[in-house]
Amino acid sequence: MAALFLSYSREDAERVQPLAAALEREGHSAWWDRHISGGQEFAGAIEQALASADVVIVCWSQSSIRSDWVRDEAAAGRDSGRLVPVSLDGCPPPLGFRQYHTIDLSGWNGRLRSRALQPLKAAITEKANDASPHARPADAPPVRQRRSNFEAHRWSVAAAAALVLIFGGIFLYSRVWAGDDRIAPRVAIGQFALVSADLPRALPDMLGQEILAAFGVENAVAVVTAGDGTAGLSAPFVMDGGVSRLADSVRFTVNLKNRRSGLLLWSGAYEHEVADAVAARQAAVGASQVVRCGLWGASSYKSRMSDQALSLYFKWCNAHWGGSATQAAELDAARRVTVAVPDFSFGWSALALAAVPLAAGESVEAKQLRKEGIAAARKSMQLDRQNPEGYMAIAGLLPLDRYAQREQLLKKAISVRPTECGCERQAYGDFLASVGRMEEAVGQYEQARAMRPLAPFSNLRFAQSLYVVGRNDEADRILANTLTLWPDATSLRLLKMKSALWTHRYDDAIAMLGAADLPLTSVQRNTLTAAFQALKSQNAALRAKSVAALESFAADPRYNDRLVVGTLAALGARAAALKAATNLVRTRGLFDAEVLFEPNLAAAREEPGYAQLVRELGLTTYWRGGRNAPDICRDSAKPRFCSFA
């Protein structure tokens, strides 16, 4: 009978359990991760079970096709000739696995003796009989052969060559790894192959050049080309890959390999339309974010980190920077890192950062995650006081009205080791914007953008802050350049539409609202279009009608947002705008308090409710206690409430 390894998504555990039971009834040994004991090392147990299995059964489903773990386990089975894929819900396998016959179990009723399992049983028998053994049995005698004189001579030559490599390679080894065995954060850009001949021949070189540009000049990870002399050879890691066609799309595959061991640490695939002129640049930005996240964090580890552990950390970086379908998957990836390398500070800060968005709210689960996140952040700082992510995570897990403590933590994050992404600057910029110190926020956003000059979000926040402080021309230029690279980014398009409230280019906003792919309901689209038309026409009746329509949005948490608040203010409805802002902040939290300091709210600040709201939020106490007055209280035409702020 065969040793089976079942790869599946946790969401499908209830469907996999009877499948495992049915296969064990046939006499097979079916392993799935419910067999891991409480004290057993998680990643190591999976690795061992996968390596020793005769057959790797991959359970594809709508959940598992999005799982990096299932894809990796499926690739291990495929590459070793042990793969038997099944579909639990009729879902086709992901790209890269569709050329293998997949057994459909979507109609299986869960019964152990069901005839629906016959094709799977037959496939297991065939695969197990064809598979070569993975290891020699323990009682098998070792095979000994007499070496010929030629073989002995070849062995002596090889041994002499090995000595030359050992002693001659000391210099290269010292350049690959830091003197104290830490990982050196240096990567070489290798060769990218053109897999499909009908694609432009320049695409592979273009991808390599775009990756160089995506890392930016202000980066903690050194990037060189593989042919760049000694520097290229001394880089311990190399990025390579290929460009291929998939029907009407082009796929950019980017790999990261450990040059010393030759093992693949991470691989990412980015698919775009063939005609997309910025496809290579977008793929480069995505890949560079993951690679520098992993190398920068791992370079802080004071001991030698195994390829297996480093690969786990790259999986978290991939999930953190947008490769994960759910926030829970990022949390799970971080937990695996802490199990694999319990003394790795950045593994614990990864867990803390992953807990931040899930810990919002007052549910029992949110409170438990907040507790876990704070403990993980403290553990990360205990292991490495220079880890800025721990300070950032605690600042994000504290109640939002503890302004002074949060600011102290964010300043501490800036004062220690600078991150590879400028994230500590981004976080402090967000804090400053939420307390009305936008002029200072601009400087933080600018420094964060220098670390990721092509990333959409860093450009978005910088451009938005420039609009708020009245530097419209600069903001227009940054937003236009970023939209050229990321034309489909919804957040960028919405900012361009909202910028009409400050630039008065209402026709541009109306044109953008006509785009069918903008994620707005028809009611939202029509109401906002009418509002911009009213602003353009200066017609009092149209304005009044738009205000009434927007007030209904402001009363509904599903539709109330900063755009609604700003548009009401631009229409001159001071009281309605303030009411909408109050509803927004009370519903969504203090991160949206930034709307209170936008230019359109200037007139609303004279409303009695404005002073009352900033008092309720604890802002006046913060401003007065630290002498951190907001920008609006430094203007000559400052509102009356500034006397107590």
When pLDDT is cut at 50, 70 and 90, the band that residue 588 belongs to is: confident
What is the arithmetic mean of pLDDT over 100-113? 82
CB 345 within 8 A of CB 300: yes
- Please check the confidence at residue 167 and state whether its pLDDT lies above 80: no
Give the per-residue pLDDT at 406: 93
Give the per-residue pLDDT at 366: 87
Distances (CA, A) of 176 to 130, 173, 299, 529: 41, 5, 12, 58
Q: Which of 533, 531, 463, 527 lies closest to 499, judged by CA?
A: 463
Domains belonging to the chain, first-starting first, are 3-130 (3.40.50.10140), 174-303 (3.40.50.10070), 324-415 (1.25.40.10), 422-487 (1.25.40.10), 502-645 (no CATH)
Give the per-residue pLDDT at 232: 60
Q: Which of 212, 207, 208 lies closest to 278, judged by CA?
A: 207
Burial letters 316-334, b for 16+ CB under 10 A, else e: bbbbbbebbeeeebbbbbb
247 Cβ neighbours under 8 A, 6+ residues apart = none
Distances (CA, A) of 470 to 50, 241, 437, 456, 467: 59, 44, 14, 21, 5
- Please check the confidence at residue 615 and state whether its pLDDT lies above 50: yes
Q: Give 282-341 pLDDT, tens digit per residue.
A: 999 999 999 999 999 999 998 889 999 999 999 999 999 876 667 788 999 999 999 999
What is the arithmetic mean of pLDDT over 261-276? 89
- Please check the confidence at residue 635 and state whether its pLDDT lies above 50: yes
Pairing of strands 3-7, 237-246: unpaired
- Please check the confidence at residue 68 and state whether its pLDDT lies above 60: yes
The reported pTM is: 0.70
When pLDDT is cut at 50, 70 and 90, the band that residue 466 belongs to is: very high
Phi, psi of 239 (to 5 degrees): -105, 125
Q: How far apart are CA 403 and CA 396, in angstroms?
A: 11
Give the per-residue pLDDT at 135: 36
| Listed ranges 23-32, 412-421, 515-524, 527-536; the one with the highest mean pLDDT | 527-536
Q: Which residue has the higher pLDDT, 361 or 429?
A: 429
**Segments in 359-434 forming alpha helices (H):** 364-383, 388-397, 403-415, 423-434
Phi, psi of 293 (to 5 degrees): -60, -50
- Please check the confidence at residue 349 and state whether its pLDDT lies above 80: yes
Helices (H) and strands (E) in the chain, counts: 28, 10
Distances (CA, A) of 494 to 181, 436, 497, 594: 48, 22, 5, 17
235 Cβ neighbours under 8 A, 6+ residues apart = 176, 186, 187, 188, 222, 224, 226, 259
Per-chain mean pLDDT for the chain: 84
Q: Which of 258, 268, 238 lies closest to 71, judged by CA?
A: 268
The tally of CA atoms less than 13 A away on the side-chain side of residue 446 is: 9
Distances (CA, A) of 393 to 65, 294, 343: 30, 18, 18
Q: How far apart are CA 390 and CA 407, in angstroms?
A: 14
Q: How far apart are CA 337 and CA 311, in angstroms?
A: 9
| Listed ranges 11-20, 375-384, 519-528, 592-601; the one with the highest mean pLDDT | 375-384
Q: What is the 8-class DSSP label of residue 177?
A: B
- Please check the confidence at residue 146 and state whether its pLDDT lies above 60: no
- Burial grade of 72 (CB within 10 A; 0-12, 13-18, 19 or more): middle
Structure tokens at 458: 């860093």
3-state secondary structure 178-227: CCCCCECCEEEEEEEEECCCCCCCCHHHHHHHHHHHHHCCCCCCEEEECC
What is the arithmetic mean of pLDDT over 387-414? 93
Q: Give 470-481 pLDDT, tens digit per residue.
A: 999 999 999 999
When pLDDT is cut at 50, 70 and 90, the band that residue 627 belongs to is: confident
Residue 236, helix vs strand vs coil: coil
- Please check the confidence at residue 179 and state whether its pLDDT lies above 70: no
Residue with tokens 């980015």: 270
Q: Give 359-377 pLDDT, tens digit per residue.
A: 877 788 889 999 999 999 9
When pLDDT is cut at 50, 70 and 90, the band that residue 41 belongs to is: very low
7 Cβ neighbours under 8 A, 6+ residues apart = 56, 57, 58, 59, 64, 69, 70, 73, 74, 77
What is the arithmetic mean of pLDDT over 464-471? 95
Calculate ∠ Cα 28-32-35, nearest 5°.
100
- Please check the confidence at residue 258 and state whether its pLDDT lies above 90: yes
Q: How far apart are CA 311 and CA 342, in angstroms?
A: 15
Q: How many CB atoms lie within 10 A of CB 169?
A: 13
496 Cβ neighbours under 8 A, 6+ residues apart = 479, 483, 508, 509, 512
When pLDDT is cut at 50, 70 and 90, the band that residue 622 belongs to is: very high
Residue with tokens 């593989």: 226
Rg (CA), the chain: 29
Structure tokens at 486: 């990321």
Q: What is the 8-class DSSP label of residue 281?
A: H
Give the per-residue pLDDT at 515: 87
What is the arithmetic mean of pLDDT over 241-264? 91
